[in-house]
Chain A
Amino acid sequence: MASALRAAILGHIRVPVSQTLTLNGSKLSLFGAVRSMSSHGDDHLTKEEVIDRVLDVVKSFPKVDPSKVSPDVHFQKDLGLDSLDNVEIVFALEEEFKLEIPDKEADKIDSCPLAIEYIYKHPMAG
């Protein structure tokens, strides 16, 4: 009977949850940092990293002369590629950064600065 009473009482009392998450010694309350354990925020790439990786992808494209590649080069005008190569480079970038770029956006990317810009702004770039 005591246990039934206890269960009934516990069913009506709200026990305050005072969890404190300790992160590197500092105490954060539950409502302060809701997703403090998740590492979602630090996926975002720095601009230098994006530039480096984009240039690597462009340089390793077989038809491209690596010495001509710079962060402001236009694929068709400066590197002498054609539009099909353009689509191929966009796909290589998709593969490198694990993105899926929709067709309309992919059509607009035809130079290094545009590519870097797009990838930097994309939330899912990995």
Chain B
Amino acid sequence: MAFVRSVKVAPNSASLEEARSRVFDFFRSACRAIPTIMDMYNLQDVVSPSELRSSIASQIRHNSHITNPKVIDMLLFKGMEELGNIVEHAKQRHHIIGQYVVGRGGLVQDLGTKDQGSSNFLKNFYGGNYF
């Protein structure tokens, strides 16, 4: 089932404004896909649609400081690809839960007694550079 998710064609946004409106269009199409996604992956008991919307929004906001329209286009392309993968069920339930429900904070369980002696630099290094 090759489901082409309303691909935004023109790869070059003329200006930051156009890129910005593309971002909102992408966010809207992701939100409209949420009921389907919850149905497909049986997420009704795990998470609510508004939580999914919030997590998608936070991931978009994570890159909101970028001003180069080409970079924004590239990120949008990756986002559309990700959304397409999820909708055509190329992902599985644990992918969705790990990436969008639990998020980054829930994954780091082991920063406890093991790393107490290590320096701040190492802690940040283990934490990753996803900020």
Do they bind each other? yes
Q: Nearest-CB distance from A59 to chain B (Å)?
A: 13
CA distance A106 to B31 in the complex (A): 13
> Would you call B31 and A62 a contact (CB within 8 A)?
no
Contact residues on B (Cβ < 8 Å of other chain), bracket: 10 to 19
Chain B residues in 8 Å Cβ range of A42: none
Chain B residues in 8 Å Cβ range of A107: 24
Nearest to B51 among chain A residues (CB) is A62
Is A92 an interface residue, CB under 8 A from the partner? yes
CA distance A38 to B57 in the complex (A): 42
Q: Which of B25, B27, B54 contacts A62, CB < 8 Å?
A: B54
Stretch from A11-19, A81-89, A111-119 at the B interface? A81-89
Q: Nearest-CB distance from B67 to chain A (Å)?
A: 15
> Would you call B50 and A92 a contact (CB within 8 A)?
yes
CA distance A82 to B50 in the complex (A): 17
Chain B residues in 8 Å Cβ range of A92: 50, 53
Q: Which residues 91-119 in B have Cβ within 8 Å of A in the complex?
A: none
**Interface secondary structure of B, over-half rule:** helix
Whether A84 contacts B50 in the complex (CB less than 8 A), given A91-B31, A103-B28, A106-B28, comes out as no
Is B86 an interface residue, CB under 8 A from the partner? no
Q: Which of B27, B28, B50 contacts A95, CB < 8 Å?
A: B50
Is B49 an interface residue, CB under 8 A from the partner? yes
> Would you call A88 and B53 a contact (CB within 8 A)?
yes
CA distance A95 to B54 in the complex (A): 14
CA distance A103 to B29 in the complex (A): 10
> Would you call A87 and B61 a contact (CB within 8 A)?
no
> Would you call B24 and A82 a contact (CB within 8 A)?
no
CA distance A57 to B57 in the complex (A): 17
Q: Nearest-CB distance from A27 to chain B (Å)?
A: 46
In the complex, 18 of the A-B residue pairs with CB atoms within 8 angstroms, ordered by the A residue number, are A61-B50, A82-B61, A82-B64, A83-B24, A84-B24, A84-B27, A84-B61, A87-B27, A87-B28, A87-B31, A88-B53, A91-B28, A92-B53, A95-B49, A103-B25, A103-B28, A106-B28, A107-B24
Interface on A for B, CB 8 Å cutoff?
61-62, 82-85, 87-88, 91-92, 95, 103, 106-107
